Amino acid sequence: MAYAITQSCCKDASCVSVCPVDCIHPTPDEPDFGTTDILYVDPKACIDCGACADACPVAAPKAIDLLRGAEAVFADLNAEFFERRPPREKPKTHTWDEMGGDLERSLSIAIVGTGPAAAYTARQLLLSTDAKITMIDKLPVPGGLVRGGVAPDHTDTKKFADLFHWAYRHPRTKMVMNVEVGRDISHADVLQHHDVVIYGVGARRDRELGVPGEDLPGVYPAPEVVGWYNGALDVAPDGVVLSGDRVVVVGNGNVALDLARLLLHDPEVLARTDMPDHAVAAFRGLDVREVVLLGRRGPSAAAFTRPELLMMPPGIDVVVARDEFTEGELAEAEAEPESNAAVLAALPLVDVDLTAPPGDRRRLVFSFGRQVVSVEGDERVEAVQVAPSGVPEQAEKVPCGTLIRATGHRGTPVAGLPFDEATATVPNEHGRVVDPATGEAVPGTYVVGWIKRGATGGIGTNRTCAHETIATIVADANAGLIPPAPKRRLTFGPFVRTRVDRVVGRRRMLAIEKAEETRGHREGRPRVKFESVDEMLRVSPATSLH
């Protein structure tokens, strides 16, 4: 029986490299790589060897005869992809093995961040070079987006942590945790002790709506809500207070779908995940019966991925609000069978009165061609004025208790580096940081991930991004463009301890993670997260850096 790739696919192409019969597509050397929602297995070519399942960091490939429930649809999705796809015209190449040449001298490299972009970079450097790595993070625990951004019920996706722990534990890696570059130490400090500094710091800002009433309590940016229900240490347990039987979410991407799914989910299911206790308690106290996803444009511009929508739990009605504009776009969707509009066209198209209270059944409503004009309320959000896009005078009052902006992520300036406010990225050429005022490269400084390319692409996209940045570093080093650091890497640890009282090294970091997992196992959960830095630092006595 053939395999099929399912919803949790990260698209990092680990499976492509190990497939003996070239039946997984798109591959990194094909033009449509990175454009599809997931990768696909050709069921006619698959020999049922299981190599893809062994290689995948998130357990996305599964034997078709073992697919159950909502996952059963992926057998058809994988087969349908190859019904329209022409055969490969030339043999595949394993692009991950081509790093643009070997380093001619060993480098000491600091990586700021421990999330997917930073961890993929560290992993590839350790596998393909003899570089010595220092990973620096402002938190005592690693993971970045995997820990603080992946929805708690996406348990397969969270398995990325196992892949990245290899890099954290490697003998050529030092972990310097609970230290923030730009606050505790400077960029110049790091570069004094390392030949190269790579920033993989992500993007945590959001885009404001710019409407009256947006500063009322009960209006939240999606990154803050996501951080809150994932136990992010920079969002207090009482920093988000959800309320009301209807929640309006501006946006219709995967983050918006995550928010809708969790708000409408059975809280007892969430209680078995690694969602922190404060958020579990809050979800238990909610009675959200309707979540409305507002999109300024039409169904063809919807930003979610098809697998994310297909995995909506049973018992939730998913509908599209009927209007002339939306109905017209959905009628044209048959011409593009792989588009999101085609997926939406298969959903019930219903007349929705958002001015009325929600019904008794839990419901997710896609409402297109709509914008928030203003937010109303005395002490917190009570309603939003919603109008057809570009026609604010036709606004209608939609009662709701919470408004969430899921309008995309934006990077924040990195102290000591140039920053492009328009793109919310650090200006760079293939990962090499460039000062736009002079056009010159910033010595020894590189970027990877969202701070490099903008907030696009999922976790697996960071593998190709890291590949490009590393190839640039190798080329620069071999061209003599990276001079040796003035000081030795071994002196970095003692230097940091003169600036930061509570530095966390690898042993202490692993002890904190082990303690969370132990707390979780007692309750039948993956882990129970600590909710403050102080709690984490009480786990074990201070140890020296490793």
Q: Binding site residues for FAD, as ranges? A: 117, 145, 181, 450, 457-459
| Residue 28, amino acid | P
Q: Which of 318, 300, 295, 302 is nearest to 372 (CA)?
A: 295
C-alpha–C-alpha distance, residues 514 and 526, integer Å: 11
C-alpha–C-alpha distance, residues 316 and 305, integer Å: 18
| Residue 184, amino acid | D
C-alpha–C-alpha distance, residues 227 and 209, integer Å: 20
Give alpha helix (H) positions in 322-460.
Answer: 324-331, 340-345, 450-453
C-alpha–C-alpha distance, residues 367 and 260, integer Å: 13
C-alpha–C-alpha distance, residues 223 and 407, integer Å: 10
C-alpha–C-alpha distance, residues 365 and 368, integer Å: 10
Q: Which of 409, 415, 482 is nearest to 449 (CA)?
A: 409
Asked if 431 and 474 touch (Cβ cutoff 8 Å), the reply is no
Q: Is 50 helix (H, G, I), strand (E, B) or coil?
A: coil
C-alpha–C-alpha distance, residues 274 and 230, integer Å: 8
Dihedral sign of CA atoms 146, 152, 156, 157 in order = negative
Neighbours of 60 (CB within 10 A): 28
What is the helix, strand, coil percentage profile of the chain, to 5?
A: 35, 20, 50
- List binding-site positions for NADP(+): 252-255, 296-297, 308, 457
Q: Which residue has the tokens 């198209």?
A: 349
**b (16+ CB within 10 A) / e for 324-351:** eebeebbeebeeeeebbbbbbbebebee
C-alpha–C-alpha distance, residues 153 and 262, integer Å: 8
Asked if 405 and 219 touch (Cβ cutoff 8 Å), the reply is yes
- List binding-site positions: 117, 145, 181, 252-255, 296-297, 308, 450, 457-459
Q: Which of 14, 401, 363, 382 is nearest to 240 (CA)?
A: 401
DSSP 411: -
